[in-house]
Chain A
Amino acid sequence: MFKNNLTFGYVLFVGIPLLILIGTLRAGADLSALPAVSGDWTVEPTPNKCAGPLANASQPALSIYQTGSNLLIAFNDPRKTTLAGKLEDGSVTAVSATTGGRALRLEAAVSGEPGHRSLQGRLSFDGSSACAPVPFRAVKSGK
């Protein structure tokens, strides 16, 4: 009796979950995840004073902390400027709270394969007539 119970128990509690596991792994094989942008980034030199924190940041100039689509971007400048942003459809959009009264905005497109990723976009100050948006290019320093 117990042996039959045990066999039934194995089928019910071990066999079925194992089948579900196999099904899960198959179903998930088609899932795609967001591009990995987390890590340190080296930005090509931008001496333009309109580049804000990038103008006097030491390399790696950017550190990105990623939780799914949520990003926290930290500049390696003396003021340690940080921006909160999103990663959607392969594009990064981030805004700082304030930087000397003006909000700093970063917009960039993510390209390349994991391990050879790059960011190409521009930095601008919201509502600033004196500064035009500054283009930049960044490459990932490692995972």
Chain B
Amino acid sequence: MIDLFKLILQIGVILLTARIVGMLFKKIHQPQVMGEMVAGILLGPTLLGWLAPAMSKALFPAPSLGYLNALSQVGLVLFMFLVGLSLNPKELREHGHAAVLTSHVSIVTPFCLGSLTALFLYPRLSDDSVSFMGFALFMGAAMSITAFPVLARILTERDLLRSRMGTLAIACAAVDDVTGWCILAYIILLIRTTHGGRPIWVTLGGLLVYIFLMLLGIKRLLARFETSFLKTGRITENALACMVLLVLASALTTEALGIHLLFGAFLMGAIMPKSPDFIQYVLHKFEPVTVLVLLPLFFAYSGLRTNIGIGHNGMWWVFASIVIVVAIAGKLGGSMIAARFAGIGWRDAASLGILMNTRGLMELVILNIGLDIGVISPAVFSMMVLMALVTTFMTTPLLEWAYPVHLMRNEVDALATERVA
């Protein structure tokens, strides 16, 4: 039986904390979403559970967390749909070789370093319920992810979307996102099959049929939404409801196939028509509830599973530091060197590396999946959450250091003048 009073109280406390901490983070030039992530962690055992354990237990008793989780999963499904919706394959084509090489290196290098770290961490932090391969591949995937939405928000807030480096970063992050999710889908498939799920050929066959249907059938149906929008300038409520139903159906299909429901939601967004006005309209309709209400619930649910610092011994901090250093070296270093190799100047290459190192929210999504399927332990989960926070937090100050806003604005203006000429 749902304790409705408690659930509404929890949602109220979470939303209030998320807004307050989000605003405080904005004051120190951090993206609002970073503050919301931290708010979630503050509500968990890291702060509230440590300072006021009785209050923490009364507000978030273990049996009540299932409802919070269910709501946050619905939020994530809608959010992944919006992430897929915001992806534009054209952005990649326009940047050619530099973007392709940089994005591939920015995945492969941290992936490789993450797996190498697993050689050290597996005997110390994992247990025999997980195979080394599952653990190593997951660590690699978790290290190589880029938070496309957070990166886009940082670039927008700094008015850098029109800069050469900004567009290149968006293109690379788009490739990273698609590749990262494909790799993760494979890992989940691998782990679920080794844990006695259905045979892999059934899942792969089902997946092929599903993708075929999505690309050849559903994509055409979705084009009708765009046509109707371009004619009338609006989308009817029935059409919006139909869109939500398609997202849910796609999510359920990938879950039933044994991957994860987020992949279905992401793919549905990715195959949506991409005319800018249409995308803006759909984002405008779905974003407020998803980002303002449902995502903070996900942050809080993640925060309740995270325990950073308190009660950990010195070794925990050593392991966490190793994870953070490896993550930064692989992502920031790998992207920067590859971009430089592709002929981009040092300043742009460094900025690109810094931006690609932003993991934020997407990392939390992946880590929660890892914890749910049992491939990482709560301790590794907490370390990786800390890594996600550090890499996201460092983005804005490092970017300001590597490429100050006034220099970037000059470049944007010069580019605009060049285009006019």
Contact = CB atoms under 8 A, between A and B. Distances in A.
Interface of A: 2, 5-6, 9-10, 12-14, 17-18, 20-21, 24-25, 27-29, 31-38, 65-70, 72, 114-115, 143
B119 A13 contact: no
Contact of B133 (A29, A35, A72, A115): A29
Interface in B61-103: 97, 101
A14 B108 contact: yes
Interface residues of B, number: 41
Nearest to A12: B341
B129 A69 contact: no
A17 to B, nearest CB: 4
A25 B125 contact: no
Given A20-B116, A28-B136, A70-B313, A143 B124 contact: no
Contact of A25 (B97, B128, B133): B133
Contacts, number: 112
Contacts of B374: 143
Given A9-B338, A13-B334, A67-B316, A31 B97 contact: no
B395 interface: no
A28 B130 contact: no
B337 A13 contact: yes
B136 to A, nearest CB: 6
B378 A21 contact: no
B132 interface: yes
Contacts of B343: 2, 5
A13 B343 CA distance: 15
13 contacts: A5-B343, A6-B101, A9-B101, A10-B101, A21-B140, A24-B112, A25-B132, A33-B122, A34-B128, A36-B129, A65-B378, A68-B126, A143-B129
A14 B123 contact: no
B304 to A, nearest CB: 15
B111 interface: yes
A27 B101 CA distance: 28
B105 interface: yes
Contacts of B133: 25, 28-29
A54 B111 CA distance: 46
Given A13-B104, A27-B119, A32-B123, 6 more contacts: A24-B112, A28-B118, A28-B119, A29-B133, A68-B126, A114-B129
A1 B181 CA distance: 33
B421 interface: no
Contact of B123 (A20, A33, A143): A33
A13 B338 contact: yes
Given A17-B112, A18-B108, A24-B118, A68 B334 contact: no
B341 A9 contact: yes
A68 B112 contact: no
Contacts of A114: 127-129
B142 to A, nearest CB: 15
B141 to A, nearest CB: 12
Interface string B296-337: 000000000000000111011000000000000000001001
Given A24-B136, A25-B133, A33-B123, A5 B341 contact: yes
A88 to B, nearest CB: 12
Nearest to A143: B374
Nearest to B101: A9
B129 A115 contact: yes
Nearest to B126: A33
Contacts of A34: 123, 126-128
B290 interface: no
Among A24, A27, A69, chain B packs the most CB atoms within 10 A around the CB of A24
Contacts of B101: 6, 9-10, 13
A-B interface, 5 closest residue pairs, ranked by CB to CB distance from nearest? A36-B127, A67-B379, A17-B112, A28-B132, A114-B129
A114 B195 CA distance: 11
Given A13-B105, A28-B119, A31-B119, A68 B97 contact: no
Given A31-B123, A66-B377, A17 B316 contact: no
Contacts of B315: 68, 70
A68 B132 contact: no
A93 to B, nearest CB: 16
A20 B112 contact: yes
Nearest to A67: B379
